[in-house]
Amino acid sequence: MKKLCETVGFLLFVQGVGGLLHEWFDWFRFFNLVRPLPFASEYPLFVSVVLVVAGAAVMVASDAVKE
């Protein structure tokens, strides 16, 4: 379970970083999860920051999960 939480947190973190890079530098067009979501496409920068923070929080919280 701990590895699953770490993996999910890492994927959220990477998606957030990819979204930020796409917004700031127009990179990672194909690697962005935020753009195709209709409710998130209006605020992609905010959603990307939330994904980065949520991913980091899940990775940190995975240490509390018992094996």
Q: Which residue type occupies 24?
A: W
Per-residue pLDDT tens over the stretch 24-35: 888 766 666 666
pLDDT band for position 49 (cuts 50, 70, 90): very high
Per-residue pLDDT tens over the stretch 1-15: 889 999 999 999 998
DSSP 29-66: STT-SSTT-TTTTTSHHHHHHHHHHHHHHHHHHGGGS-
HSE (side-chain half, CA atoms, 13 Å) at 9: 17
The answer to whether the CB of 48 falls within 8 A of the CB of 20 is: yes
**In which domain, by residue range, is 32 found?**
2-64
pTM to 2 decimal places: 0.83
Our count of domains for the chain comes to 1
